[in-house]
Amino acid sequence: MRSIIYRLKRLIQGNHFLYRVLFNLATFNVDYCKQLLSTKSYPSRFGGMWTDRSDFPDKLHLKQQRLGLSQQECDDLHQWRKDGYVIFENLISHDLIDQLVQELEGLPQGHPQGLLMTGAKLEGPQPYAPELITPANSIRIVDYYVFSETARRILLDSKIVNFMKMVFEADPILTQSLNFQYGSGQPIHQDTAYVITNSPQKLAAVWIALEDVQPGAGELAYYPGSHHWDDFLFSKYFKHFDEERDGKEQEKIWLDWLNEEADRRGIKKATFLPRKGDVLLWHASLAHGGSPITAQGVTRKSLVGHYCPQGVRPLYHYYKPGQRKFYRHGSLQYSSAYYTRP
Ligand SMILES: O=C(O)CCC(=O)C(=O)O
Ligand SMILES: [Fe+2]
């Protein structure tokens, strides 16, 4: 099944217009269509969340009255709209984090069957191999929440979920997670390029500090407000990057453009130096990455989660039909590109 889809994709990806039409048909989404019908209301031609719309102040006012939002929630929503991120300090209990860290530290002695990791120098996901987890390798254990109730409890913390519910106007679905031991060293990027859904801008992420982060440990960096910049178009049409279709050169041009655009606009890179338990939530299009690691051997234990709203699907539900499954955690749902649960 998978190879048929890949073969078809290869056949048509040279014709970008046809590819776009078929891509949109294959991943058809009602909510995204609604966004496209009112693209004038959004800074992006790929739509967005209500917080991106030009009528944000009116909508917020209405919501404040209807839902009885607190002043703090309104302030958070204002910051999300303006800067593309919010920070919740001291959100996750240290007990829960200690439990997760203990689980992770036990993995070299015994890990769930089939556990996978990805890395900057690895070709796609690879079986868990603790000897590869070094500061130079940018290794992430993927979707550990499938195996760990503790990871699910952290990633689906009620305040994270509540905020996502507010911006998505729907329950969030946890679709991916990454566990880092060291800084990622990842260049400044926008997740819309790599974390693909059938409503490109209906995506949000959280960065959870599993320890106090030291300067030089490869701290998260970001350009405030960059979620409102013009869309970079891969192969003239696409919000997401596809190496086969677009080539590595386009990725490089885009990565360079993000830093050039920040310079042009006079926007300084901000960094996140959290204490254990602090959380930063960011918008699909916020430009962010991992600072270079300058402190030798210092860990940066962190957990990242990516979410889309109910009604939106991650792209892997289409190109890996076997992964088109939702699992329950209480009243919430999660999905994984890598593992299936019995
Ligand atoms: O943690 C980092 O350094 C960056 C992580 C990131 O960009 C992501 O998971 O989307
Ligand atoms: Fe990212």
Architecture of domain 2-334: Sandwich (2.60)
The number of the ligand 1 atom at minimal distance from the alpha carbon of 140 is 9
pLDDT in tens, 44-75: 999 999 999 999 999 999 999 999 999 999 99
Q: Which residues line ligand 1 (CB under 6 A)?
A: 178, 180, 183-184, 186, 191, 205, 220, 288-290, 302, 304
Residue 6 has pLDDT above 90, yes or no: no
Residue closest via CA to ligand 1's atom 3 equals: 290
Q: Is 131 exposed, middle or buried (0-12, 13-18, 19+ CB in 10 A)?
A: exposed
Q: Is 168 helix (H, G, I), strand (E, B) or coil?
A: helix
% the chain with pLDDT above 90: 93
Report the pLDDT value the prediction gives residue 206, as an integer from 0 to 100.
Answer: 98
DSSP assignments along 98-130, one per residue = HHHHHHHHHGGG---TT-EEEETTSSS-EE--G
Give dist(CA 176, CA 64) in Å, integer: 31
Report the pLDDT value the prediction gives residue 11, as an integer from 0 to 100.
Answer: 87
Provide the mean pLDDT of the chain.
Answer: 96
Other Cβ atoms closer than 10 A to 291: 21
Pocket test for ligand 1, best of 220, 223, 279 (most atoms within 8 A of CB): 220
Give dist(CA 282, CA 305) in Å, integer: 10
| Residue 2 confidence class, pLDDT cut points 50, 70, 90 | low
Answer whether 66's CB lies under 8 Å from 77's CB.
Answer: no
pLDDT in tens, 182-191: 999 999 999 9
Pocket test for ligand 1, best of 207, 255, 279 (most atoms within 8 A of CB): 207
DSSP assignments along 200-236, one per residue = TT--EEEEEESSPPPTTS--EEE-TTGGGSPPP-BTT
Q: Is 328 helix (H, G, I), strand (E, B) or coil?
A: strand
Residue 314 has pLDDT above 80, yes or no: yes
Residue closest via CA to ligand 1's atom 9 equals: 304
Residue closest via CA to ligand 1's atom 2 equals: 290
Residue 179 has pLDDT above 90, yes or no: yes
In the numeric block, which tokens belong to residue 30? 């009602």
Task: Please compute the mean of the pLDDT values over residues 72-96 and round it to a whole number.
Answer: 98
| Residue 5 confidence class, pLDDT cut points 50, 70, 90 | confident
The number of the ligand 1 atom at minimal distance from the alpha carbon of 180 is 1
The number of the ligand 1 atom at minimal distance from the alpha carbon of 288 is 7
The residue type at 46:
F
The number of the ligand 1 atom at minimal distance from the alpha carbon of 195 is 10
Distance (angstroms) between ligand 1 centre and the Cα of 1 equals 31
Report the pLDDT value the prediction gives residue 14, as an integer from 0 to 100.
Answer: 87
% the chain with pLDDT above 70: 99
Distance (angstroms) between ligand 2 centre and the Cα of 61 equals 31
Helix 2-12 with 16-26: angle, nearest 10 deg? 150
In the numeric block, which tokens belong to residue 298? 């210092």
Q: Please report, for the chain, the start and end positions of each structural domain, with discontinuous segments joined by +.
A: 2-334
Lowest mean pLDDT among 3-12, 13-22, 47-56: 3-12
Pocket test for ligand 1, best of 178, 192, 258 (most atoms within 8 A of CB): 178
Distance (angstroms) between ligand 2 centre and the Cα of 191 equals 5
Report the pLDDT value the prediction gives residue 198, as an integer from 0 to 100.
Answer: 97
pLDDT in tens, 136-166: 999 999 999 999 999 999 999 999 999 999 9
DSSP annotation of 59: H
pLDDT in tens, 221-272: 999 999 999 999 999 999 999 999 999 999 999 999 999 999 999 999 999 9
Report the pLDDT value the prediction gives residue 10, as an integer from 0 to 100.
Answer: 86
Task: Please compute the mean of the pLDDT values over residues 167-190 and round it to a whole number.
Answer: 98
The number of the ligand 1 atom at minimal distance from the alpha carbon of 194 is 10
